[in-house]
């Protein structure tokens, strides 16, 4: 049977009116991939059961589609003609796609020069009006929050509660895919903190056990870890380059209630985890998406998490093709050879 999208699949758990028509791209139903080689690299011989929730396989290439189907569905239901968001890129691409499908005008504000190429390309292709702000994501979010006070425009950032309603379906899927139980550890990147808040709502509502949450922030953009706003957040993981998360308190409550951990990892550690995902498991993600794996690796190494016999799920939030520039910069350039067999055989026999 074909998958109908997250609202139809989990409608009994979502507060939509019965008559509300759904705007969907059949998002969700992403694979939960067992990662034994990566588990062995992170915790040799410990019997860690590690799974990757590959959210990059959603229709616009990130988990944001789960929340966006809900936010746009509700916006249409309430009669909106225009939607707006501030974004580091993935929210914008997702809003642009779902707005196109619903026939809405879509404005997206992005921080100047800090949006990855694949995200910008998608926004433009979907026909969104892309506005580049001389400022950070936090500046852009403050602007759109003020704008929607004065104009009849629907805000589809994760301050919109419908985004969390949609995103919590990720927790339902993980429980279903694990055969009806939550993992011991749920690891993910934390930027604006909507996703960690939504997952916690989802696990609680589903009632099949609760994981401990492990949130990873980039060292240069770690307000939750330092307990203060970061004025100029910096990290190559642009999706989590956020200094003043909108869901700050909700995320702290979720972390606390779960007996969880929030930690900062360096860009080098994020890239190391990003490389392991691709090279040990064949799973290509954008850098921010590897932050949950980097956090798990760090906490195991520090002895804060005992991996023995534990089940851990790392949410991989966005696809690697979102940020091709970083991928190319991180690698050696391709080998060049003349078009002849001897040269190729010479290369083959080379020490690697
Ligand atoms: C949005 C996003 C995040 C951060 O999610 P929050 O809900 O803002 O914490 C992480 N990774 C990717 C790829 C994202 O697009």
Ligand 1 neighbour 314 (Cβ under 6 A): no
Q: Please indicate whether residue 222 or residue 18 has the higher confidence score (pLDDT).
A: 222
User: Per-domain residue ranges for the chain?
Assistant: 6-61+163-329, 64-159
- Cα of 176 from ligand 1 centre, angstroms: 23
Look at residue 351 and tell me whether its pLDDT is greater than 80: no
Q: For residue 217, what are its two tokens?
A: 């922030």
Q: Domain 6-61+163-329 adopts which CATH fold?
A: Rossmann fold (3.40.50)
Q: How confident is the model at residue 114 (pLDDT cuts 50, 70, 90)?
A: confident
Q: Atom 13, ligand 1: which residue's CA is nearest? A: 318
- Cα of 206 from ligand 1 centre, angstroms: 23
Q: Do domains 6-61+163-329 and 64-159 have the same CATH topology?
A: yes
pLDDT at 1: 80
Q: Please indicate whether residue 49 or residue 1 has the higher confidence score (pLDDT).
A: 49
Contacts of residue 88, defined as CB under 8 A and 6 or more positions apart, other chains included, come to 110, 111, 114, 115, 119, 137, 191, 238, 239, 240, 241, 242
Look at residue 261 and tell me whether its pLDDT is greater than 70: yes
Look at residue 8 and tell me whether its pLDDT is greater than 90: yes
pLDDT tens digits, one per residue of 122-169: 999 999 999 999 999 999 999 999 999 999 999 999 999 999 999 999
pLDDT at 162: 98
Q: Please indicate whether residue 111 or residue 318 has the higher confidence score (pLDDT).
A: 318
Q: What is the pTM of this model?
A: 0.97
**Probe target for ligand 1 pocket from 137, 193, 317, 320, with the most ligand atoms within 8 Å of CB:** 317
The three-state DSSP-derived secondary structure of 55-88 is HHHCCCCECHHHHHHHHHHHHHHCCCCEEEEECC
Q: What percent of the chain has pLDDT over 90?
A: 97
Q: What is the mean pLDDT of the chain?
A: 97
| Torsions phi, psi for 256 (to 5 deg) | -65, -50
Q: Return d(Cα 27, Cα 293) in angstroms, integer.
A: 24
Contacts of residue 350, defined as CB under 8 A and 6 or more positions apart, other chains included, come to none
- Cα of 228 from ligand 1 centre, angstroms: 19
Look at residue 352 and tell me whether its pLDDT is greater than 70: no
Ligand 1 atom closest to the CA of 193, numbered from 1: 9
**Probe target for ligand 1 pocket from 318, 319, 320, 326, with the most ligand atoms within 8 Å of CB:** 318
CATH number of 64-159: 3.40.50.1100
**Probe target for ligand 1 pocket from 191, 235, 274, 326, with the most ligand atoms within 8 Å of CB:** 191
């Amino acid at each position: 049977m074909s998958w109908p999208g997250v609202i139809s699949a989990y409608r009994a758990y979502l507060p939509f009116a019965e008559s509300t028509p759904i705007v969907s791209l059949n998002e969700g139903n992403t694979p939960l991939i067992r990662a034994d080689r990566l588990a062995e690299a992170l915790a040799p011989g410990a019997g860690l059961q590690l799974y990757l929730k590959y959210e990059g396989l959603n229709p616009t290439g990130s988990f944001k589609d789960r929340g966006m189907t809900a936010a746009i569905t509700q916006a249409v239901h309430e009669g909106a003609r225009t939607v707006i968001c501030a974004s580091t890129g993935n929210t914008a691409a997702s809003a642009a796609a779902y707005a196109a499908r619903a026939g809405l005008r879509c404005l997206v504000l992005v921080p100047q020069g800090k949006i990855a190429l694949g995200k910008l390309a998608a926004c433009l292709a979907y026909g969104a009006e892309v506005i580049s702000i001389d400022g950070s994501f936090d500046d852009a979010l403050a602007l759109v929050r003020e704008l929607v006070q004065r104009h009849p425009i629907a805000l589809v950032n994760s301050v919109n509660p419908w985004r969390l309603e949609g995103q919590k379906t990720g927790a339902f899927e993980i429980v279903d895919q694990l055969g009806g139980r939550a993992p011991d550890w749920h690891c993910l990147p934390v930027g604006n903190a909507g996703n960690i808040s939504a997952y916690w709502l989802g696990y609680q509502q589903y009632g099949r056990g609760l994981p401990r949450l492990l949130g990873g922030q980039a060292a240069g953009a770690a307000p939750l870890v330092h307990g203060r706003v970061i004025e100029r957040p910096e990290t190559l993981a642009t999706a989590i380059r956020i200094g003043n998360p909108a869901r700050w308190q909700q995320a702290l409550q979720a972390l606390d209630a779960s007996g969880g951990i929030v930690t900062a990892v360096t860009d080098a550690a994020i890239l190391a985890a990003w490389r392991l995902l691709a090279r040990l498991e064949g799973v290509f993600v954008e850098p921010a998406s590897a932050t949950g794996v980097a956090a798990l690796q760090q906490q195991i190494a520090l002895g804060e998490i005992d991996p023995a016999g534990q089940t851990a799920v790392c949410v991989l939030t966005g696809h690697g093709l979102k940020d091709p520039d970083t991928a190319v910069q991180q690698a050696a350039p391709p080998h060049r050879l003349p078009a002849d067999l001897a040269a190729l055989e010479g290369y083959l026999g080379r020490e690697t």
